[in-house]
């Protein structure tokens, strides 16, 4: 995770060894009881009211574990929370009616924050230690990594393109365009030690060991102190704005390249569950996944009321996470412009390209094996993702 400004972290779900520990925070009496602002509900989605009653098929409260604090990259999830929500400061979670557009589905949605709220553990670990978590964000590489011992199946690709990137100072390195260029120039790259993609780039000879610095602590201090000499990981939908407009000792543009565009083609923030839940909650997922698909479309079209909720939650949690309206606005525009949230190659939002997943599996297996975390023998895309519950008719315009 990366601290944006001096107290801001960036989600890095590419964990090393999976750590099982108690999940962060039980329900308590410190809920704020805050009501949603007028206009929180997005326009109704494609499903008719009779198709979105979840009360007979889903848990009374659908619990979703995210990988980080509230931010616009999670807006398509918070967009489903209706009026009368509560913000639980101690539990670091938001709970309210689960809405399909302007239709109440008859159940609640509880969105739990990740990152510092769960001791920087993976979402996978949380799902395996707390049975109340029905769904959570699992990046495809994380699912591959843990497939042997802690399998998960993703039912919707939350983000078509992983926001993770490497950034550098364009004034210092005007000719650098990608990670291969950083490798050729021998530029130091600062990153979190758990980032498996960097092990892949090293093993492929794209970068060398002597230029990698795995001591990144999330703060901007070292990047600023290097005065443009070093590169650093981040989110393309956040850090470029933050460093140009909010890091007082920098306040100038950075250039960046996405991990996905450099060979580690990963789906991000996918909606996943434990394999046994596929059968147990099949009727639930048949209705819920299309609702989430439509919520993503609705959020991108009209994000402001949901971003108001996100900003309110950040302020209420008051846990060191700094998030501003400017960052939220930039994130939405970048997610659209850079295709972070977008349709797949067949113009459907949220579905998986199985060939793309198999290609990632092929390059990830030797990487994780070298790290002492070999994936499941004979692993294929169908083991970690499914398009069973996707509504092919739902897409971004």
Report the pLDDT averaged over residues 333-337.
97
Higher pLDDT, 125 or 12: 125
Quick: pLDDT tens for 180-225: 999 999 999 999 887 889 999 999 999 999 999 998 877 899 999 9
Report the pLDDT averaged over residues 6-34.
36
Higher pLDDT, 36 or 118: 118
Which tokens go with 366? 């030797």
CB atoms within 10 A of CB 208: 12
Cβ pair 144, 124 in contact under 8 A = no
Q: Longest Cα pair distance anywhere in the chain, in angstroms?
A: 60
Give residue 50's pLDDT. Answer: 54
Among 1-15, 100-114, 282-296, 345-359, the range scoring the smallest mean pLDDT is: 1-15
Give residue 195's pLDDT. Answer: 85
The residue length of the chain stands at 397
Give residue 219's pLDDT. Answer: 85
Residue in this structure with the two tokens 């009727």, named with its chain if needed: 283
Is the pLDDT at 306 greater than 90, yes or no?
Answer: yes
For 263: left if phi > 0, alpha if psi spans -120 to 50, otherwise beta; the answer is left
Closest CA to 65 of 87, 93, 107: 93
Helix (H, G, I), strand (E, B) or coil at 65: strand
Give residue 261's pLDDT. Answer: 97
What angle is formed at CA 316 by the lines to CA 329 and CA 61, rounded to 5 degrees? 90
Q: Give the span between the Cα atoms of 50 and 47, in whole angstroms.
A: 8
Question: Residue 228 class from Cβ within 10 Å (0-12 exposed, 13-18 middle, 19+ buried)?
Answer: middle
Is the pLDDT at 166 greater than 50, yes or no?
Answer: yes
Higher pLDDT, 131 or 43: 131
Q: Give the span between the Cα atoms of 190 and 30, in whole angstroms.
A: 39
Give residue 52's pLDDT. Answer: 94
Closest CA to 189 of 142, 234, 246, 141: 234
Give residue 362's pLDDT. Answer: 98
- Cα–Cα distances in angstroms (integers) from residue 171 to residues 221, 229, 270, 322, 349, in the given order: 19, 10, 36, 27, 37
Quick: pLDDT tens for 225-273: 999 999 999 999 999 999 999 999 999 999 999 999 999 999 999 999 9
Residue in this structure with the two tokens 């996405």, named with its chain if needed: 258
Give residue 1's pLDDT. Answer: 33
- Cα–Cα distances in angstroms (integers) from residue 100 to residues 195, 312, 364, 391, in the given order: 36, 22, 37, 14
Closest CA to 108 of 39, 155, 54, 70: 54
Give residue 216's pLDDT. Answer: 87
**Paired residues of 192 in beta bridges:** 215
Helix (H, G, I), strand (E, B) or coil at 53: coil
- Computed on alpha carbons and rounded to an integer, the radius of gyration of the chain in Å comes to 20
Q: Give the span between the Cα atoms of 82 and 35, in whole angstroms.
A: 9
Higher pLDDT, 194 or 364: 364
Q: Give the span between the Cα atoms of 362 and 49, in whole angstroms.
A: 43
Closest CA to 347 of 294, 296, 394: 394
Cβ pair 70, 314 in contact under 8 A = yes
Helix (H, G, I), strand (E, B) or coil at 211: helix
Q: Give the span between the Cα atoms of 255 and 173, in whole angstroms.
A: 9
Closest CA to 194 of 241, 123, 142: 142
Is the pLDDT at 27 greater than 70, yes or no?
Answer: no
Note if the pTM is more than 0.85: yes
Is the pLDDT at 71 greater than 80, yes or no?
Answer: yes
Average of per-residue pLDDT values in the chain:
89
Q: Provide CB contacts within 8 A for 323, sequence distance 6+.
A: 4, 8, 69, 70, 71, 310, 311, 314
């Amino acid at each position: 995770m990366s601290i944006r400004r001096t107290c801001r972290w960036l989600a890095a779900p590419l964990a090393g060894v999976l750590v099982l520990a108690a999940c962060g925070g039980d329900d308590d009496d410190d809920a704020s009881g805050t009501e949603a602002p007028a206009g929180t509900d997005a326009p109704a989605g494609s499903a008719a009211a009779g198709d979105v009653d979840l009360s007979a098929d889903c848990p009374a409260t659908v619990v979703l574990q995210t990988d980080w604090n509230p931010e616009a990259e999670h807006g398509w999830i918070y967009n489903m929370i209706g009026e009368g929500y509560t913000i639980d400061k101690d539990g670091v979670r938001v709970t309210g009616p689960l809405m399909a557009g302007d239709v109440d589905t008859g159940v609640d949605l509880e969105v739990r924050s990740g990152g510092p709220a769960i001791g920087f553990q993976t979402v996978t670990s949380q799902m395996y230690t707390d049975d109340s978590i029905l769904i959570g964000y699992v990046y495809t590489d994380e699912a591959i990594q843990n497939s042997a011992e802690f399998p998960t199946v993703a039912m919707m690709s939350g983000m078509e393109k992983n926001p993770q990137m490497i950034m550098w100072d364009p004034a210092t390195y005007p000719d650098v365009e990608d990670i291969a260029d950083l490798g050729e120039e021998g530029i130091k790259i600062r990153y979190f030690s758990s980032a498996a993609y960097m092990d892949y780039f090293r093993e492929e000879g794209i970068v060398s060991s002597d230029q990698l610095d795995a001591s990144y602590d999330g703060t901007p201090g070292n990047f600023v102190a290097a005065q443009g000499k070093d590169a650093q990981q981040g989110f393309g939908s956040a850090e470029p704005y933050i460093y140009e407009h909010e890091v007082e000792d920098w306040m100038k543009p950075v250039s960046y390249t996405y991990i996905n565009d450099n060979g580690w083609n990963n789906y991000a923030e996918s909606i996943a569950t434990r394999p046994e839940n596929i059968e147990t909650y099949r009727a639930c997922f048949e209705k819920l996944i299309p609702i989430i698909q439509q919520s993503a479309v609705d959020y991108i079209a009209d994000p402001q009321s949901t971003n108001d909720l996100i900003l309110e939650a950040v302020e209420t949690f008051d846990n060191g996470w700094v998030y501003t309206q400017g960052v939220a606005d930039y994130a939405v525009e970048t997610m659209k412009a850079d295709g972070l949230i977008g349709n797949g190659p067949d113009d459907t939002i949220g579905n998986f390209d199985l060939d793309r997943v198999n290609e990632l599996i092929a390059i990830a297996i030797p990487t994780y094996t070298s790290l002492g975390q070999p994936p499941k023998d004979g692993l294929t895309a169908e083991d970690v993702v499914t398009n069973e519950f996707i509504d092919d008719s739902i897409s971004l315009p």
